[in-house]
Amino acid sequence: MEILNRKLVKPCIPTPPNLKTFKLSFIDEILPLMEVGVLLFYPSNPNPIHLEQSLSKVLPSFYPLAGRFNLKDQIVDCSDQGAEFVEAEAPDTELATLLTERDHQNLDAFLPREKKQVELPTYPILSIQATRLKCGGLVVGVSISHKIFDASALSTFLLNWSNTITSNPETEAAVTFDGATLFPNRSQSSASSSAAIRFLDLERISVKRFSFSKEAIAALKQLNQRVSRVNLVCALIAKALIALDGAKHGRSRGCLITQAVNMRGRTDPPLSKTACGNFVLLSLAHCSAGEIQQVADLLGEVVSRSVSECGGILRMDEDRRNETVVGPLRTAGRTFMSGEDNVLTFTDYSKFGFYGVDLGWGKPVWASIAPHTIANTVVVMGSGDVDGFEAWVHLEKKDMELFERDQQIATLCAI
């Protein structure tokens, strides 16, 4: 990997004075200091697009991304300092080689910055790295602060950037930044909410891809027809991780499974699907060792309950609304801190449309995640196989070795 250029790209139109201060919402405030991101892999294109020019054009609609944090005051100074844009090349790397990669450690170089740089006050909120490959292909790595955007909002940004390049205004949707209005910031310290999250040094954590083909999904559906395909994948992985935890501790412990539920499109009054910010409600499932179909049923039930809560959350008074959001986070934190039960975290990126992001190279042939530094985390993505899924599993290295030996995991990922 060779870095050719590193620059700041500013919005093509200055941010108006009335938008210079962007307030964080209550949900933004309580999130830990971390990033959300994706890697998009494109085949060779003889007519490359100048990405930085199109980035400058889309930034006025996403003006906070060109600003800088003021965490003391829980705001973003929308000063148009710019998003970071990195040009790189990997002259010895072929796209075909990357598409078979299972270990994210070998993909980290395609991301624009190191995790330790995430929330430095002078550091860009949005960073993008475009890397040319030996075959002429391209890898675009995008990292964005989770204090500003969740994965759904990241997808909205990328799809709008894509529309800017492909000149497809019919598919563009107006973006909104109503988080601080709907969930007013209370200027509480975010330290208390993030202290319970288990951040690890990247050298201690292993992040690997486990692929489930449409045949593997069909085999899982035979076990349980009632729940979604994503919940079946999560239930399979949860079952294996619960068994692994029992083997490590020499006894069966309780387990708390958390799943992020997207509020967009589920509230009354409706919250736009292109609303930018963090609009996530945490669902909690308490379970112990069980068969896949039982775990899947439980996950389906608690998610359905959280979706129902989303329906009325905007009609609640402010105190109750905020408690609905922070209550599950507090429970998860206390459970982890007690050490009595295992805590697993699941997130579903599969519906966010990353495979539709055309940046002038056509649509990506593969979309991957930017890894987290939180143990026992699983992120589910779509795959090149339209009916398949990929699960990026984050574990301590010694646990990953045991997880890969699970018979059902090995069998289904080999189908």
- Assess whether 240 and 158 both reside in one domain: no
Domain count, the chain: 2
Shared-domain flag, residues 132 and 251: no
pTM score, whole prediction? 0.93
**Could you tell me if residue 187 is inside a domain?**
no
Residues 226 and 95 in one domain: no
pLDDT tens-digit series, residues 115-160: 555 555 678 999 999 999 999 999 999 999 998 999 999 999 999 9
Residue after which a domain boundary falls, among 182, 203, 228: 182
Tell me whether strands 366-369 and 342-348 are parallel, antiparallel or unpaired. Answer: unpaired
Q: Tell me, yes or no, whether 74 and 211 share the same domain.
A: no
Q: Which of 150, 245, 358, 406 is catalytic?
A: 358
Domain extent, residue 118, equals: 2-182
pLDDT at 192: 41
β-strand partners of 128: 85, 142
Active site residue 358: yes
Give percent of the chain above pLDDT 70: 93
Q: Is-contact 144 37, C-beta < 8 A?
A: yes
| CATH number for the domain harbouring residue 96 | 3.30.559.10
* Digit-coded pLDDT (tens) for 57-115: 999 999 999 999 887 888 999 999 999 999 999 999 999 999 999 999 999 999 998 65
At CB < 8 A and 24+ separation, what contacts does 326-329 make?
326/26, 326/30, 326/193, 328/258, 328/281, 328/282, 328/283, 328/284, 329/30, 329/193, 329/282
The number of C-alpha atoms within 13 Å of 356 and in the hemisphere containing its C-beta is 14
- Domain boundary at 149, 182, 215, which? 182
Residues 307, 396, single domain; the answer is yes
Percent of the chain topping pLDDT 90? 73
Q: What is the pLDDT of residues 340-374, one digit of tens each?
A: 899 999 999 999 999 999 999 999 999 999 998 78
Q: Which pair of tokens denotes residue 271?
A: 């919250």
Q: Are residues 173 and 206 in the same domain?
A: no
Do 169 and 220 lie in one domain? The reply is no
pLDDT of 170 strictly over 60: no
Residue 387 among the catalytic residues: no
Q: What is the pLDDT of residue 325?
A: 93
CA 386 to chain centre: 20
Structure tokens at 139: 């890898």
* C-beta of residue 221 within 8 angstroms of C-beta of residue 300: no
Residues 89 and 235 in one domain: no
Residue 411 has what pLDDT?
94
Catalytic residue selected from 104, 146, 372, 394 = 146
- 275 touches 262 (CB < 8 A): no
Q: Which of 158, 182, 206 is where one domain is finished?
A: 182
128 and 208 belong to one structural domain: no
Closest CA to 280 of 343, 215, 332, 235: 332
Residue 176 shares a structural domain with residue 287:
no
| Contact in structure between 88 and 141 (CB atoms under 8 Å) | no
Residues 22 and 92 in one domain: yes
